[in-house]
Amino acid sequence: MSITSDQSYVRTEMLTEKAPPSTNVGIIGWIRANLFSSWLNVVLSLLAMYAIYSTLAYILPWVFGGVWNATSLTECRIVIAEAIGDGHTAGRACWAVIHERFWQLMYGFYPSDQYWRPNLALILLFVAIAPVLFNGLPKKMLLISVAFPFVAPWLLWGGAIWTPLMAFMGFVIGYFVHKFASKIAGSLVGIILGTVSALLWWLLFSSAVSQGISHMIGASRMSGEIERLETSIPLQEAEVGRHQAIVDPLEGQVIAIQEEIDAAVSAEKPVADLIRTKTPLYLTLGSASSDLSKEQDMLNVMRARLTAIKSLPKDETRSQQLADAAIAARAALPASVAKLTDVKEANLGTSAEDKDQLEAALKVEGESGSLQDRIETLYQDVGLVGLKPVKSRDFGGLMLAVLLGITGIGLSFPLGIVLALGRLSDLVIVKALCVGFIEFIRGVPLITLLFVASVLLNYFLPKGTEFDIILRVMIMITIFAAAYMAEVIRGGLAALPKGQYEAADALGLDYWQAQRLIIMPQALKISIPGIVSTFIGLFKDTTLVSIIALLDILGWAKTIQATSDWNGVIWELYGFIAFVFFIFCFSMSRYSMYLERKLQTGH
């Protein structure tokens, strides 16, 4: 057979593509490939679907059919029984416990009028970490990241504005000392001197400077308030007279009403209507009497204080000093007046005899503490420019867990890097210290360290030393997490090829430059899963503080269960706590996966 010239062995036009079979694409294709690809997968998939259906058939009605408005577990059960029958009260959740105790679960004993402070601190946290976690944001947002570690504690604990400023000044001083010393004696000496200078500032000078500023402001505010005390008595007397003018006529009416009621009772007549018509009058009288009592008490206190001042000896300087001190010593007046007084006494040098007399007056009034302590306290209160102080024992709920978790995560990460580098160091002493620290901390349970922070640490401190309980717990959680973080990062450093170290040496980089530019970025990328796992475990471990009497969200759940109203509520409280922790931990896990994809260089 011959081949003509117009025939060809190669097709010159491509055939159009045909659509894949409908059973191999889309949701149907996915189901066939993943759920029903073989007879064994068919059986396992059907069993799994049945288990999921059985679980959700019980959980969903329990969750979404629960009661949200009730004041006790008994009331919850009554509402559920009325809705679905007496025999099914356990088939619905009593979410009313969350509704009733939500703010305690979130903030503990933190003052309700100050909730805006932890809320603002949380918002600033997200703003501060945003430029660190995500690229593309304005670099100026890093200023918020730098300021956050100083602003957040001040927002939560309150106090004078000078405290965070003095803390920040320690870093500024350390930086300039490091920069100056590095030029003269090298980077290692510069780091040591910079660290020492910052520590000396914080331990010896920052508190004194802050108190000095408060003293200056307190002294400038004193005179006007004492004058206001002198001039306020006529105003108080006028106010008392106004209330008395209301109360006097009412007292006569009350006597007449009581006589009517007595007559009705003796005649065995119904008195309900009579009492009902007179109730507004009783309410008016009660309100007026209450206001009068407050005003009268205030007036009596002011009179007593001024009487005490006028009865003091009349010789000039001593009389003035004693008068100023006596106003502060008698602490019954409102805080706005009692704060602004005894500032002059500390500077004018009152004699020992005068101080003894004032100490005796304090003891007679049942006051505690020395006169000098009261003077210092008054200085601080008067010169306070900042936020209302909140004690650490008032912290609690989820706020405490987040505070401890964020602090532990933020501090343990850089400390873990330092420990990991120290463990791999060629310096024998540095390596021995790091290895000993890591192995000791990893060999001790966290709860043991928390008990040390709560109880045993006080035995090793000087008598009278006050060491904030939350600060102690923060330190223990940080060093515990840092030991584990060091091992995770050391694993990343060990996984790095030796050629990377040789490349850094070939470029002429010193140790710190090589770690910062070449070694550590790659090691941290390798260690991302372990680092995030450590963070998640640390955040969950914050619930252990409930064992040392700090009422975090888990501690509050136990406290709520101990009340008579909610005794027996278990699944609702612990389910809510589990959901809250899941949100935080799942978010951290998803971010780590995003970061791994972003830094993936295999392609």
What number is the average pLDDT over the span 564-590?
91
Q: What range does the domain containing 329 cover? A: 219-387
User: Strand, coil or helix: what is 67?
Assistant: strand
- Whole-angstrom distance, CA of residue 253 vs CA of residue 239: 22
User: Strand, coil or helix: what is 9?
Assistant: coil
- Whole-angstrom distance, CA of residue 185 vs CA of residue 190: 7
Q: Which of 5-14, 516-525, 593-602 has the lowest mean pLDDT?
A: 5-14
Asked whether residue 289 is domain-assigned, the answer is yes
Helix (H) or strand (E) holding 387: strand 386-387
* More confident call, 251 vs 491: 491
Q: What is the pLDDT of residue 369?
A: 47
Q: What is the pLDDT of residue 18?
A: 79
What number is the average pLDDT over the span 83-102?
77
Q: Give 423-470 as a DSSP string.
A: HT-S-HHHHHHHHHHHHHHHTS-HHHHHHHHHTGGGGGSPTT----HH
- Chain position carrying tokens 């505010």: 221
- Whole-angstrom distance, CA of residue 117 vs CA of residue 155: 6
Asked whether residue 196 is domain-assigned, the answer is no
* More confident call, 438 vs 333: 438
Asked whether residue 51 is domain-assigned, the answer is yes
Q: What is the pLDDT of residue 297?
A: 53
Asked whether residue 598 is domain-assigned, the answer is no
Q: What is the pLDDT of residue 223?
A: 56
Name the pLDDT band for 261 (thresholds 50, 70, 90). low
* Amino acid residing at 99: H
Q: What is the pLDDT of residues 314-323, one digit of tens each?
A: 444 444 444 4
Q: What is the pLDDT of residue 584?
A: 93
Cα 413–Cα 416–Cα 418 angle in degrees, nearest 5: 115
Q: What is the pLDDT of residue 205?
A: 85
Q: What is the pLDDT of residue 408?
A: 92
What number is the average pLDDT over the span 47-76?
89
Residue 486 in this model has a pLDDT that exceeds 70: yes
* Amino acid residing at 430: V
Residue 547 in this model has a pLDDT that exceeds 60: yes
Asked whether residue 561 is domain-assigned, the answer is no
- Of the three residues 359, 387, 415, the one that is the final residue of a domain is 387
Q: What is the pLDDT of residue 6?
A: 59
C-alpha separations of 351 from 52, 59, 222, 325, 567 in Å = 83, 76, 22, 12, 61
- Whole-angstrom distance, CA of residue 406 vs CA of residue 471: 13
Q: Are 171 and 150 in contact (CB under 8 A)?
A: no
- Whole-angstrom distance, CA of residue 384 vs CA of residue 378: 10
Q: What is the pLDDT of residue 204?
A: 85
Cα 218–Cα 224–Cα 229 angle in degrees, nearest 5: 110
- Of the three residues 46, 64, 82, the one that is the final residue of a domain is 64
Residue 371 in this model has a pLDDT that exceeds 80: no
* Amino acid residing at 552: D
Residue 434 in this model has a pLDDT that exceeds 90: yes
Residue 278 in this model has a pLDDT that exceeds 50: no
C-alpha separations of 589 from 165, 184, 602 in Å = 35, 46, 21
* Amino acid residing at 122: L
User: Which of 481, 595, 581, 474 has the alpha carbon at shortest distance from 149?
Assistant: 474
Domain count, the chain: 2
Residue 442 in this model has a pLDDT that exceeds 70: yes
Max distance between CA atoms of the chain, in angstroms, equals 144
Q: What is the pLDDT of residue 53?
A: 93
Q: What is the pLDDT of residue 116?
A: 93
User: Which of 18, 40, 39, 42 has the alpha carbon at shortest distance from 31?
Assistant: 42
Q: Give 457-499 as a DSSP string.
A: GGGGSPTT----HHHHHHHHHHHHHHHHHHHHHHHHHHHS-HH
Highest mean pLDDT among 72-86, 159-173, 409-423: 409-423
Q: What is the pLDDT of residues 403-420, one digit of tens each?
A: 999 999 999 999 999 999
Asked whether residue 321 is domain-assigned, the answer is yes
Q: Give 163-231 as a DSSP string.
A: HHHHHHHHHHHHHHHHHHHHHHH-HHHHHHHHHHHHHHIIIIIHHHHHHHHHHHHHHHHHHHHHHHHHH
What number is the average pLDDT over the span 389-397?
89
Q: What is the pLDDT of residues 217-233, one digit of tens each?
A: 766 665 555 556 556 55
Asked whether residue 272 is domain-assigned, the answer is yes
Name the pLDDT band for 269 (thresholds 50, 70, 90). low
What number is the average pLDDT over the span 110-115?
91
Supply the mean pLDDT for the chain: 76
Asked whether residue 136 is domain-assigned, the answer is no
- Of the three residues 64, 85, 114, the one that is the final residue of a domain is 64
User: Which of 305, 306, 320, 380 has the alpha carbon at shortest distance from 350?
Assistant: 320
Residue 171 in this model has a pLDDT that exceeds 60: yes
